């Protein structure tokens, strides 16, 4: 069993996904280092810096399955170095003198930075695909419930009616902005590293930039304009973006959690056969998925301070930030992907209860329609005077537990201007959702267009 919940045999799928465990596992980490070394060798061979036969031999020995991780670990313990044991292992496997050209002109951080970016790029595609699934589910919900009235709530209390489709469309628009952020971030983030000991390419010389460009082209990455050994803004931006995306998933989950409460019961996350809510209360149908997503959003958010701390580094290189990145990047990415995937499940199987929403619209006895009455009365009494009149009636209704209609009709200032039938129309929550359905339609047109 893993000491970390990400690798735990019991809890791994609560805090991560199989894909992220594969991508950030030891075997794949070594594979990305090998891929980087192989691309470097091929680029240098193409530019006549090392023999082509050596590059071919290095590439032929770039399968991580052929390396003994336990052996690498033993050498790492002796050398206190992550890449030297791998370079030695590659060298030992290469035929002839090809091994002497491994890691030619590179420094350890070149290999580790580039490998980490390759891992993030692999993870990115899974994150994007599952975010697409969440978005597609929200599109269906927003369209189906564009005009489904429900209580709007501010400060935890009923405010005015909205529609459930409108609420979902707010989430949908936020996710679309995240997709735009991802597109912008990707142009900066997917940039490799090859600069040598202090970033000057002194070991390669004038051909260094050409090696770097060709190497990155082989890896599907961009070449940096200058060494970024101590410039960790790309990773900080990535961490902040992942935390924002996970935060949106957490907000959605928390909202569903609130709306699923027994007293509200307007929605319910999927509760498949066999799930158990409580070890002692057989009736419980707990919102376990939403609780998990809300918790994941918190853990992901906790990675951001580490990323921001790493913006401060000493001179041309130090190892402090790299140690922190080695710990938080996998946790950040796994938590974000797990949150998105869980929300894809929740949004795909969400039970929506329009009847409960309509029922809840009546619990205040019409108080949530106070603005509708006020605005009608303002046509003849003026807005502020109308506010004062309706305010007094609302406070009386709230204090006595009476419905607002009966209290309003007792006031001659109201009854002389608004008939009982007109008051009934004003107090119809379905008729006072404003442009909620239209705004939902606007968002749907944006994301589908």
CATH at 284:
1.20.200.10
Instruction: Give this prediction's pTM.
Output: 0.94
Do 160 and 80 meet the contact criterion of CB atoms below 8 Å apart? Answer: no
Residues 246 and 346 in one domain: yes
Residues 379 and 341 in one domain: no
Over the stretch 183-226, which tens digit does the pLDDT of each residue have? 999 999 999 999 999 999 999 999 999 999 999 999 999 999 99
Name the band, by pLDDT with cuts 50, 70 and 90, for residue 6.
confident
Query: 153 and 41: one domain?
Result: no
Dist. CA 257–CA 417, nearest whole Å = 43
Please check whether residue 202 lies inside any domain of the structure.
Answer: no
The DSSP letter of residue 2 is -
In this predicted model, what pLDDT tens digit does every residue of 356-403 receive, in sequence order?
A: 999 999 999 999 999 999 999 998 889 999 999 999 999 999 999 999
Assigned domain for 185 exists: yes
Burial class (CB in 10 A: 0-12, 13-18, 19+), 387: middle
CATH number of the CATH domain containing 380: 1.10.40.30
Are 418 and 447 found together in one domain?
no
Domain count for the chain, please give it. Answer: 3
Tell me the pLDDT tens digit for each residue of 58-113: 999 999 999 999 999 999 999 999 999 999 999 999 999 999 999 999 999 999 99
Within this chain, do residues 99 and 111 fall inside the same structural domain, yes or no?
A: no
End-to-end C-alpha distance for the chain, whole angstroms: 48
In this structure, what token pair is assigned to residue 64?
């991580």
Catalytic residue among 278, 362, 406, 415: 278
Which tens digit of pLDDT belongs to each residue from 112-158? Answer: 999 999 999 999 999 999 999 999 999 999 999 999 999 999 999 99
114, 102: one domain:
no
- The fraction of the chain above a pLDDT of 70, given in percent, is 100
Q: Is residue 177 scored above 90 in pLDDT?
A: yes
- Co-location of 233 and 130 in the same domain: yes
Are 416 and 321 in the same domain? no
430 is catalytic: no
pLDDT at position 272 is 80
62 is catalytic: no
Domain assignment of residue 244, yes or no: yes
Same domain? 263 vs 377:
no
Strand partners, 149: 163
pLDDT at 1 over 60: no
pLDDT of res. 282: 85
| Residue 15 and residue 296 in contact, taking contact as beta carbons nearer than 8 Å | yes
Structural domain span for residue 402? 367-426
**Domain identity same for 270 and 343:** yes
Asked if residue 117 and residue 45 are part of one domain, the reply reads no
- Report the mean per-residue pLDDT for the chain: 94
Are 315 and 374 in a shared domain? no
């Amino acid at each position: 069993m893993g000491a970390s919940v990400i690798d735990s045999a019991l809890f791994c799928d609560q805090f991560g996904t199989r894909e992220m465990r594969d991508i950030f596992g030891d075997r794949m980490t070594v594979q990305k280092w090998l891929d980087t070394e192989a691309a470097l060798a091929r680029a240098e061979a193409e530019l006549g810096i090392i023999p082509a036969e050596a590059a071919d031999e290095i590439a032929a020995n770039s399968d991580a399955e052929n390396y003994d991780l336990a052996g690498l670990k033993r050498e790492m313990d002796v050398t206190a170095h992550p890449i030297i044991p791998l370079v030695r292992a590659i060298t030992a496997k290469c035929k002839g003198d090809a091994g002497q050209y491994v890691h030619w002109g590179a420094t350890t951080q070149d290999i580790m930075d580039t490998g980490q970016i390759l891992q993030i790029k692999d993870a990115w595609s899974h994150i994007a695909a599952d975010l697409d699934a969440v978005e597609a589910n929200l599109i269906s919900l927003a369209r189906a419930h564009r005009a489904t009235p429900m209580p709007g709530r501010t400060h935890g209390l009923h405010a005015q009616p909205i529609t459930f489709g409108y609420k979902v469309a707010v989430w949908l628009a936020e996710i679309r902005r995240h997709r735009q952020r991802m597109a912008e971030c990707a142009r900066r983030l997917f940039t490799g590293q090859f600069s040598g000991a202090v970033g000057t390419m002194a070991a390669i010389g004038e051909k260094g930039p050409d090696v770097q460009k060709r190497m990155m082209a082989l890896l599907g990455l961009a070449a940096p304009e200058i060494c970024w050994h101590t410039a960790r803004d790309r990773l900080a931006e990535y961490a902040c973006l992942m935390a924002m995306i996970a935060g949106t998933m957490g907000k959605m989950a928390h909202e569903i959690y609130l709306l699923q409460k027994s007293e509200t019961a307007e929605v319910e996350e999927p509760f498949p056969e066999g799930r158990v809510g409580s070890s002692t209360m057989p009736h419980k149908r707990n919102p376990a998925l939403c609780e998990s997503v809300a918790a994941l959003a918190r853990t992901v958010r906790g990675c951001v301070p580490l990323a921001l701390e790493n913006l401060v580094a000493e001179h041309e290189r130090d190892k402090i930030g790299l140690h922190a990145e080695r710990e938080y990047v996998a946790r950040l990415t796994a938590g974000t992907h797990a949150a998105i995937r869980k929300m894809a499940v929740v949004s795909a199987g969400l039970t929506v209860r329009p009847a409960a929403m309509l029922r809840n619209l009546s619990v205040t006895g019409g108080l949530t329609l106070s603005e509708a009455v006020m605005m009608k009365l303002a046509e003849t009494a003026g807005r502020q005077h109308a506010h004062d009149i309706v305010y007094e009636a609302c406070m009386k209704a709230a204090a006595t537990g009476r419905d607002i209609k009966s209290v309003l009709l007792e006031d001659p200032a109201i009854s002389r201007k608004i008939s009982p039938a007109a008051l009934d129309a004003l107090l119809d929550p379905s008729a006072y959702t404003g442009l909620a359905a239209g705004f939902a339609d606007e968002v749907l047109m944006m994301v589908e267009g």
